[in-house]
């Protein structure tokens, strides 16, 4: 149902942008001279809350706080309006997506946010927080503003690369007395500081802790304090036992680990004193990764939202039933991050709860909308009229005085239709399989309200997480099918003899045994072993069943050569020396030297004398030969007249080194020694010692670097940052 645009003061409400537990946000327009038009976002208290004690005062407090904040990283409030007794806040309109939506898409795509972009985003948030924390009033005294709800859904990302903090709806400031209604614990549990969860006084360091949790999730995709219930989440928040982010993402440097973990300490006194200090530490830690900027953010948004950075899908109508459900979720601060302050209007007199049934405003049954930020979507104008509804019972939920004040209205509402959600995951027997809906465990037979958007995810050990983001629950059958893809892991194949070549299914080039390789895990991975003079061996492994470290060991069977078999093609023809031929002893004249694998450079002392296989004059006295081959450990061998006419040595692979590097944007690709890897990230890729060439490509742009890998050492390279050839600035150097 739709309605014609409605005037609210000098503004015309065009579309409803968002709705939550506390209010609604509309896209509004104001007309000026000479056809001048300006778009704004208008926030109104939900009608059923407008007369609840404390809500109107809280709404006014929010406006008083935000109207004093003028910063490039804060959504500004333009005015607090009052039209016929209906209060509303007018804010800047910023089309784009919130950070929560970006994290959902990154998780669905199975890719992390780049380290440099994550740091840049948080530095922008820290700038906003530091400004708000230091803000003074007209008397020059600090306002002592604390946001208290720093979370991904309150970080707005504009389509042009802007980063803005919004929703100071539960902020505390000096002189504001109405922020906490009846003692209600406000803010999202998974992003709270320990002192906020304990109900203690908070200051700027509480926001620093919450900002650190946002960065942690950006870097790792993990909410470190989230549990399967609000009670357990609060317990984790109060203890604040958080592992370093490098435990989830090894490429994170010690400096970044230290800067972030200082923000996440249990005691506020151990944290960064100011958000500016935190931001400076992050900027310094970003040096190894390169720099990010608004253009990088714009490219990421365009990649993650090919349907359009500004969504166009209509938002469902918000019935009173749906609004109450949204508010209950807000009060509970569910694990999926729902619940943050929104807007709406207070009711007209005819809509008061004490009115007779005939005077009560009719409300059309609907369903709770998905959580979106105040500027997340441009949507058609919502209806202000509605149709009659039946009045069955509804369950009581006591969540403090704020929820108790609306319980009577809840009893009179029709609950939205609840339907089951059938989630099937393949493979169904994956170890550690876990299915979640909006971050909470999904149980067979669980039902969800028709029309709601849910995030369905499946994860299992040794598989990449797979998500169906923002799935809308339908009235008919709801089937969600998630196929898990095995992850890639290091596996070591060891075999004898030492010169065995290993060919793994899915890897074109053979490699020498004993070298860890990145292999796509699977239940039936075929591996072929080959070595000169031995029977080839072919085996199939269940790599998903192997424990850590993943390693297999095999032994090849030597070939049986008949005594009268002709010599192998290419065999050395030098006559054997120092052996009996008939009844004569032939004098030693030469020594045939070979290695496995062949091609090793042979040194006598420091002087190179050739590559294997080679024939040398037979030594008249003991001498030391050194064999060197890239990827193998040096081998020294002493030879003398008694060693016979032939010498064969087996080289042992050197321990690998590890390389970590990425290319930005993520649509780019990496080549290793000329071979396209089909990915934009190397995460501790095992490589044989020596020099390697790494090339990054993106839409005609290319950059090549050489890296020297040493046995047992890890190298973290500065990220490749490429700009498509057709987008490059011709004036740039």
Return the active site residues: 149
Tokens of 70: 């003028």
* Helix (H) or strand (E) segment spanning residue 42: strand 37-45
DSSP string, 611-654: ESSEEEEPPSS-EEEEEE-TTB--EEEEE-GGG-SEEEEEPPBP
Determine whether 120 is exposed, middle or buried from the number of CB atoms within 10 Å of its CB (0-12, 13-18, 19+): buried
CA distance linking residue 536 with residue 495, whole number of Å: 11
d(CA 16, CA 42): 9
- By three-state DSSP, how is residue 597 classified? coil
Hey, CA dihedral for 712, 718, 721, 722, is it positive or negative? negative
Contact criterion met (CB below 8 Å) for 317 and 383: yes
The Cα–Cα gap between 615 and 575 comes to 12
Q: Are strands 488-496 and 517-520 parallel, antiparallel or unpaired?
A: antiparallel
Query: Pick from 253, 246, 77, 244: which is nearest to 167 by CA?
Result: 77
417 vs 109: CA distance, rounded Å? 31
Helix (H, G, I), strand (E, B) or coil at 92: strand
- Between CA 343 and CA 358 the distance in angstroms is 27
Closest CA to 670 of 518, 547, 442: 518
CA-closest candidate to residue 75, choices 376, 292, 277, 380: 376
Q: What is the DSSP string of 107-124?
A: HHHT-PPPHHHHHHHHHH
Which residues on adjacent β-strands are paired with residue 428? none
- Among all chains, which residue has been given the structure tokens 């890729």? 685
Phi, psi at 87, each rounded to 5°: -85, 145
Q: What is the dihedral of CA 253, 256, 258, 260, to 10 degrees?
A: -140
* 3-state secondary structure (DSSP) of residue 379: coil
CB atoms within 10 A of CB 275: 27
Contact assessment for residue 452 and residue 472, using Cβ atoms and an 8 Å cutoff: yes
Q: Which residues of 492-514 are buried (b: 16+ CB within 10 A; e: fewer)?
A: bbbbeebbbbbbbeeeeeebbbb
Dist. CA 576–CA 615, nearest whole Å: 12
């Amino acid at each position: 149902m739709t309605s014609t645009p409605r005037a609210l003061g000098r503004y015309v409400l065009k579309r409803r942008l968002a709705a939550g537990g506390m209010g609604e946000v509309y896209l509004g327009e104001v007309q000026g001279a000479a056809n001048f038009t300006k778009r704004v976002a208008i926030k109104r208290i939900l009608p059923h809350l407008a007369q609840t004690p404390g809500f109107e005062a809280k709404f006014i407090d929010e406006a008083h706080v935000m109207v004093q904040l003028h910063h490039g990283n804060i959504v500004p409030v333009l005015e607090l309006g009052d039209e016929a007794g209906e209060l509303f806040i007018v804010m800047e309109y910023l089309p784009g997506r919130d950070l929560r939506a970006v994290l959902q898409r990154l998780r669905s795509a199975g890719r992390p946010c780049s380290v440099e972009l994550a740091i840049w985003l948080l530095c922008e948030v820290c700038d906003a927080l530091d400004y708000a924390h230091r803000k003074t009033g007209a008397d020059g005294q600090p306002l002592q503003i604390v946001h208290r709800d720093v979370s991904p859904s309150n970080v707005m990302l504009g389509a042009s690369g802007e980063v803005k903090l919004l929703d100071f709806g539960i902020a505390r400031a000096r002189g504001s007395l109405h922020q906490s209604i009846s003692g209600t614990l406000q803010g999202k549990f998974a992003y709270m500081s320990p002192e906020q969860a304990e109900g203690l006084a908070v200051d700027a360091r509480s926001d620093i802790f919450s900002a650190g949790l946002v960065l942690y999730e950006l870097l790792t995709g993990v909410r470190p304090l989230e549990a399967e219930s609000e009670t357990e989440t609060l317990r984790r928040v109060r203890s604040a036992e958080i592992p370093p982010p490098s435990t989830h993402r090894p490429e994170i440097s010690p400096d970044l680990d230290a800067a972030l973990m200082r923000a996440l300490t249990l005691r506020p006194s151990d944290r960064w004193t100011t958000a500016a200090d935190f931001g400076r530490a992050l900027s310094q830690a970003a040096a190894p990764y390169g720099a990010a900027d608004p253009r990088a953010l714009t490219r990421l948004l365009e990649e993650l939202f090919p349907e359009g950075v500004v969504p166009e899908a209509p938002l469902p109508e918000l019935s009173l039933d749906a609004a109450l459900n949204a508010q209950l979720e807000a009060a509970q601060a569910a694990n999926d991050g729902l619940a943050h302050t929104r807007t709406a209007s207070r009711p007209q007199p005819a809509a008061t709860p004490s009115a007779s049934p005939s005077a009560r405003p009719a409300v059309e049954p609907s369903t709770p909308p998905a959580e979106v930020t105040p500027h997340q979507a441009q949507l058609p104008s919502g209806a202000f009229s509605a149709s009659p509804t039946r009045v069955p019972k509804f369950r009581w939920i006591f969540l403090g005085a704020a929820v108790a004040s609306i319980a009577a209205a809840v009893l009179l509402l029709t609950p939205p239709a609840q339907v089951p959600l059938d989630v099937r995951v393949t493979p169904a027997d994956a170890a550690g399989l876990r299915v979640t809906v909006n971050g909470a465990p999904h149980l067979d037979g669980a039902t969800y309200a028709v029309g709601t958007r849910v995030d369905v995810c499946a994860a299992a050990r040794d598989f990449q997480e797979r998500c169906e983001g923002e799935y809308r629950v339908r009235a008919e059958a709801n089937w969600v099918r998630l196929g898990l893809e095995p992850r890639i892991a290091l596996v070591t194949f060891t075999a004898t003899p030492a010169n065995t070549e290993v060919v793994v299914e899915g890897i074109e080039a053979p490699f020498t045994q004993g070298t860890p390789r990145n292999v796509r895990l699977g239940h039936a991975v075929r591996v072929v072993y080959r070595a000169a003079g031995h029977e080839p061996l072919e085996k199939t492994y269940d790599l998903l069943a192997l424990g850590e470290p993943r390693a297999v060991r095999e032994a090849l069977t030597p070939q049986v050569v008949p005594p009268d078999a002709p010599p192998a093609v290419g065999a050395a023809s030098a006559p054997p020396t120092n052996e009996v031929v008939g009844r004569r002893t032939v004098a030693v004249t030469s020594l045939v030297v070979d290695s496995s694998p062949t091609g090793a450079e042979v040194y006598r002392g420091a002087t190179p004398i050739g590559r294997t296989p080679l024939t040398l004059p037979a030594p008249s006295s003991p001498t030391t030969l050194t064999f060197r081959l890239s990827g193998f450990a040096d081998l020294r061998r002493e030879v003398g007249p008694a060693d016979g006419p032939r010498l064969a040595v087996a080289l042992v692979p050197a321990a690998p080194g590890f390389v970590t590097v990425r290319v930005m944007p993520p649509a780019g690709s990496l080549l290793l020694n000329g071979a396209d890897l089909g990915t934009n990230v190397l995460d501790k890729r095992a490589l044989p010692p020596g020099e390697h060439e790494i090339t990054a490509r993106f839409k005609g742009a290319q950059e090549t670097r050489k890296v020297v890998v040493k046995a047992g050492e890890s190298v973290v390279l500065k990220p490749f940052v490429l700009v498509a050839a057709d987008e490059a600035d011709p004036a740039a150097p």
